[in-house]
Amino acid sequence: MSGHAPLQRVLIVDDEPPIRRFLRTGLSSQGYQTVEAEDGPSARNALRQNAVDVVVLDLGLPGLDGFEIIRELREQGSTVPILVLSSRTDETGKVRALDLGADDYVTKPFGMDELLARLRAALRHRLQQQGERPIFRVDDLAVDLVRRIVSVRDGEVKLTPREYDILRTLMAHAGKVLTHRLLMREVWGTETDVAYLRIYIRTLRQKLEADPDRPQLILTEQGVGYRLKAPE
Amino acid sequence: MADITPHSLQQRAVQEERGRLNVLLLGPTSPRRSPQSAGTTSARDFKAYAGSLGMVAAAMLIGLLLRRYGISNVALVFLTAVLSSAVTYGLWPSLFACLAAVLAYNFFFLPPYYTFTIAAPENVVALFFFMVVALVASWLSSRVRAQAVSARERAATTENLYLFSRKLAGVFTLDDLLWAAAFQFAQMLKLRVVILLPDARTLSVRAGYPPEDMLDEADIAAATWVFEHASPAGRGADTLPGSKRLFLPMRTGRGVVGIVGLDSDRPGPLLTPDQRRLFDALSDQAALAIERVNLSEDIERTRLAAETERLRSALLTSISHDLRTPLASILGSATTLRSQHGNLDARAQDELVGTIQEEAERLNRFIANLLDMTRLESGALSPQLDFVDLGDIAGSAMRRASSVLAHHQVRVEISADLPMLRLDPVLFEQVLFNLLDNAAKYTPPGSTIELRAVRLDNQVRVDVSDEGEGIPAGDVERIFDKFYRVQAIDRKRAGTGLGLAICRGFVEAMGGTIRAANRRDRCGALLIITLPVPAEQPRERAA
């Protein structure tokens, strides 16, 4: 891997040395280069001195908090993917970070597999934005983005325009969580009641999922938003 | 004879009976009558004297009638009148009757008639002995009467005291008790009554009849003095006589338990000695009852403290067990991996690593439960209610529980006509997760767990059922207690004892209920959540 593609550089921002150590070990073994920062100011320095491909950011930093870093980065026009580390009961913190421009989150404690999957999705999304593929495929679902044809197990499925808009938004960010607010803004152009979104998600699942009671494609992140399964 | 008054007689009678009737004689026994009792007695006295006079007049008429038939010795007729007066009206009216009889007998029946002079010396002797006999007879019979009267009064008082003690025995809260006592004092003593009890530092009015809750400073000072010195103060007493009320202590063997304040619009002393004795009897009973209630409240407090202590030690036991066990496994596996690295084959290494992961996940679940419990207990939980799709929550709960459910089948039946519900999706996902986790924990691998949701009128019922041994009879309510665990034979998958307590707390915070039962169709536990269907469903606005 190192021979061909340039190493992707991950900035790890966390005040806990054991967390940084295990992230460093886990990420290096997967071929990532790591840069570490223990607080806001040192993260700022690291970002200035290094070309960073992705940021793994703990929200609960001492001093300058994680939200501040996200805000600064996005205000400066940076599009570097940001993966947030947050605590379990803090749904509002997750939503706030995502609405500020973070790309995704992982809830502490987390497994390395989960973190790597999120990291890949965030990086892939960046590539995807640069050149969208005409056919989107995941599991049994195939969507022809040019002709707007949706099929499940090779059978065409009729979607209403709004259902298609929701699916299209989810596909554009496949593998990444989308907050309710972001989805509604994209689809309705305004922030409507989350309840309508939930109704549409239910009908979409009934049309697309093999077992709507146990969705495998459109996954709910309770209290945060939805995530479409990423293509392999 | 001068000291033989109805009052002293009664007192003597009471003293004689003291041993048997347990009549209390406390405090000063002043023989002086209070003005108000004198006032009422004078009217009665007038009637008594008039009645006595009437009786003597009747005797005289009978005597005159008898004389017409030649019977001139009518002394016994007059004696009868004197006796009747003594029995009916008591000593003094009968003495009055005695005097009247002597005069009338002399005037009408001893020659020369219609003068107070007596001709024959034997008649002087007869009149003298008549007078002696009349006096002795009236004294004796009035004494009998006084005894009868006081016995009747004692019986009435005893009856009232008995009823009062019965009433107090049936009262379990201090406030009810104090109101009952105040009412009883007021009724039996015909006075206004307040009852004060010591609080942490001060005395405060706890009951009154008629209701009263403010006392002026002089009264409070008097009451405080009474509490500190356990003797009376205030109006009519030696100490602080300037205050409006008379304050008396309510005592038990353990000291003063409360203060009674008495007052009345009538001038003069508030209590006659009899009333004072009655008061003492009443206040002794009330004091004992107050002490009883206080003691039972102390016992309840002690019980609560013990319960809190029990919970705290259960928490400590649980925490030390539930934190240490996974930590021990993790530490053991990690150190083995490190020191025995060379001696372990790939499978052994994988097993140790698997243990570390599983135990860390278990630890994580336990800590999450502790945090949820803390949120519930601290009142920090504020559900974010929103219209949600139950199937959506069930799906995400099952996804989160997929590792604990790895060895079980899960069957989901969510009826298609289910309305949107107003729930906090995060909290409800946790509820379902805990129920699924619990079901997996207490049932054998390979068994089926069912999650079913149906609409019943204006409720949605969510059932989670399993194929385990079910819940022991008598435990269906206790399983929702904190740190309660069903005593399983196989303890290796014991939970934190918090999961269901959290479920109940969360469900109730969202306006639903949760209860447990055993399955009817087969062996297994059944957890039933009922949730209200919101009155209105969301409708999409034209966008």
- B346-396 pLDDT, tens digit per residue, is 999 999 999 999 889 888 888 888 888 888 888 778 888 989 999 999 999
Query: Helices A194-208 & B390-400, crossing angle to 10 degrees?
Result: 70
Counting residues of chain B whose pLDDT is more than 70, the rounded percentage is 89
Instruction: Tell me how far apart the alpha carbons of residues A125 and A103 are, in angstroms, rounded to a whole number.
Output: 9
| 8 Å CB contact of B391 and A188 | no
Q: Tell me what pLDDT residue B31 has.
A: 38
pLDDT of residue A2: 41
Contact at CB, B387 and A214, closer than 8 angstroms: no
CA distance A33 to A135: 32
Interface test with chain B among A187, A220, A221, A229, by most B beta carbons within 10 Å: A220
What is the distance between the alpha carbons of residues A193 and B422, in angstroms, rounded to a whole number?
Answer: 13
Give the chain B residue whose CA is nearest to the CA of A111.
B357
Test B414 with A213 for CB contact under 8 angstroms: yes
Residue B467 has pLDDT above 70, yes or no: yes
- Return the pLDDT at B350: 92
What count of Cα atoms within 13 Å lies in the side-chain half-sphere of residue A84? 30
Which residues of chain A from 9 to 68 reach within 8 Å of chain B, CB to CB? Answer: none
Question: From the centroid of its chain, how far is CA B91?
Answer: 48
Q: Judge whether residue B408 has pLDDT over 90.
A: yes
Residue of B386, B412, B426 with shortest CB distance to A194 = B386
Closest by CA position to B322, among listed B366, B359, B361, B373: B366
A189 → chain B, closest CA residue: B543
| Nearest chain A residue (CA) to B540 | A196
Is 60 exceeded by the pLDDT of residue B273?
yes
> Scanning the structure block, which residue is given the tokens 């107050």?
B290
Q: What is the maximal distance between C-alpha atoms in chain B? A: 152
Cα B322–chain centre separation:
43
pTM of the model: 0.59
Indicate yes or no: CB of A199 within 8 angstroms of CB of B389. Answer: yes
Q: What is the pLDDT at residue B540?
A: 55
Nearest Cα to B137, choosing from B102, B75, B86, B74?
B86
Token pair, residue B464, equals 């989670």
- Residue B251, Cα to own-chain centre: how many angstroms? 19
Q: Is ipTM beyond 0.90?
A: no
Distance CA B304, CA B301 (A): 5
Q: Which residue from A201, A214, A223 is facing B412, i.e. has the nearest CB? A: A214
C-alpha B75/C-alpha B55 separation (Å) is 14
Q: How many CB atoms lie within 10 A of CB B284?
A: 17
Tens of pLDDT, residues B212-241: 767 888 888 888 889 888 888 888 888 888
Strand ranges (DSSP E) for B8-97?
none
Query: Which residues from chain B sit within 8 angstroms of residue A189, using beta carbons?
Result: 543
Positions in chain A whose pLDDT score sits under 50 = 1-4
The angle formed by the CA atoms of residues A95, A101 and A103, to the nearest 5 degrees, is 80
Higher pLDDT, B489 or B390: B390
> Which residue is listed with tokens 């990291």?
A119
Chain A residues with CB-CB distance to B375 below 8 A: 89
Q: How far is B528 from chain A (nearest CA, A)?
A: 19
Q: A27, A10 in Cβ contact below 8 A? A: yes
- The answer to whether residue B18 scores a pLDDT higher than 50 is no
> How far is the alpha carbon of B389 from chain A, nearest alpha carbon, in Å?
7
- For chain B, the 3-state helix, strand and coil shares in percent, each to the nearest 5, are 55, 15, 30
| pLDDT in the model for residue B22 | 42
Whether A111 and B420 lie within 8 Å, measured CB to CB:
no
Asked if A91 is an interface residue toward chain B (Cβ–Cβ < 8 A), one would say yes
On whether the CB atoms of residues A180 and B361 are closer than 8 A, the answer is no
Residue A146 in contact with partner chain B when CB distance is under 8 A:
no
State the nearest Cα–Cα gap between B425 and chain A, in angstroms.
6
- pLDDT-derived band at B486, boundaries 50, 70, 90: low
pLDDT over 80 (residue B19): no
Q: Residue B481: pLDDT band by 50, 70, 90 thresholds?
A: confident
Which residues of chain A make contact with B384, given a CB cutoff of 8 A?
223
Q: Do A214 and B392 touch (CB under 8 A)?
A: no
CB A127 within 8 A of CB A138: no
Contact A88, A107 (CB under 8 A): yes
Contact between B395 and A220 using a beta-carbon 8 Å cutoff: yes
Sort out which chain B residues have CB atoms less than 8 A from A215's CB and list them.
Answer: 392, 395
Q: Is A188 on the interface with B (CB under 8 A)?
A: yes
Nearest residue to B275 (alpha-carbon basis) of B287, B288, B264:
B264
Half-sphere exposure of B423 (CA within 13 A, CB side): 31
Categorize the per-residue pLDDT at B490 as very low, low, confident or very high, splitting at 50, 70 and 90.
very low
Q: Cα dist. B540→A199, B1, B144 in Å?
A: 10, 107, 98
Reply yes or no on whether the pLDDT at B184 is more than 90.
no
* B386 in A contact zone (CB under 8 Å): yes
Best A190, A222, A227, A229 member to test B by mutation, with max B CBs in 10 Å, is A222
- Chain A residues with CB-CB distance to B423 below 8 A: none
DSSP B341-374: GGG--HHHHHHHHHHHHHHHHHHHHHHHHHHHHH
Considering only CB atoms, which chain A residues are within 8 Å of B396? 219-222
Q: Is the pLDDT of residue B340 over 90?
A: no
- For the residues B440-460, what does the mean pLDDT come to? 92
In a 10 Å sphere around its CB, with 0-12 CB exposed, 13-18 middle and 19+ buried, how is residue A79 labelled?
exposed
Give the chain B residue nearest A187 (alpha carbons). B543
Which of B384, B392, B398 is facing A201, going by the closest CB pair?
B392
Cβ contact, residue pair B420, A198, below 8 Å? yes
Residue in A with minimal Cα distance to B368: A88
Sign of the CA dihedral with B1 first, then B7, B10, and B15 last: negative
The pLDDT tens digits of the residues spanning B291-332 come to: 888 888 888 888 888 877 877 777 777 677 778 888 888 999
* Choice between B58 and A5, residue whose per-residue pLDDT is larger: B58
Residue B125: count other Cβ atoms within 10 Å of its Cβ: 11
Contact, B86 vs B145, CB < 8 A?
A: yes
Res B42 pLDDT > 80: no
Backbone angles phi, psi at A56, to 5 degrees: -105, 115
Mutate to test the interface with B, among A193, A213, A218, A226 (most CBs of B within 10 A): A213
Q: Could you tell me if A215 lies within 8 Å of chain B, comparing CB atoms?
A: yes
Determine contact, residues B92/B51, Cβ cutoff 8 Å: no
Give the pLDDT of residue B32: 38
Please enumerate in sequence order all residues whose Cβ is within 8 A of that of A82, keeping only pairs 6 or more positions apart, or say none: A54, A55, A57, A70, A73, A97, A101, A102, A103, A122
pLDDT-derived band at B448 (thresholds 50, 70, 90) equals: very high
Of residues A189 and B16, more confidence is placed in: A189
Token couple for A167: 């699916």
pLDDT of residue B34: 39
Locate A7 and state its tokens: 């190493």
Report which DSSP code applies to B491.
G
Give residues 100 to 119 of A whose Cβ lies within 8 Å of B. Answer: 109, 111
Nearest CA in chain B to A224: B426
Per the rule left: phi > 0, alpha: psi between -120 and 50, beta: everything else, A31 is left
Cα first-last separation, chain A: 18
Number of other CB atoms surrounding residue B503 within 10 Å:
27
Q: How many A-B residue pairs are in contact by the CB < 8 A criterion?
A: 69
Interchain contact, B389 vs A202, CB within 8 Å: yes
Query: Is B541's Cβ below 8 Å from some Cβ in A?
Result: yes
Contact A201 B389 (CB under 8 A): yes
Run of H or E residues at B462: strand B459-465
Q: Is the pLDDT of residue B36 over 60?
A: no
Pairing verdict, β B255-263 and B246-252: antiparallel
- pLDDT band at residue B119 using 50, 70 and 90 as cut-offs: confident
Q: What is the mean pLDDT of chain B?
A: 82
- Cβ atoms of A23 and A15 within 8 Å: the answer is no
Q: Is B391 on the interface with A (CB under 8 A)?
A: yes
* Neighboring chain B residues of A223 at a CB cutoff of 8 Å: 384, 424-426
d(CA B48, CA A151): 118
* Closest by Cβ to A195, choosing from B357, B387, B424: B387
| Res. B41 pLDDT band, cuts 50 70 90 | low
Angle (nearest 5°) at CA A155 between A154 and A156: 115
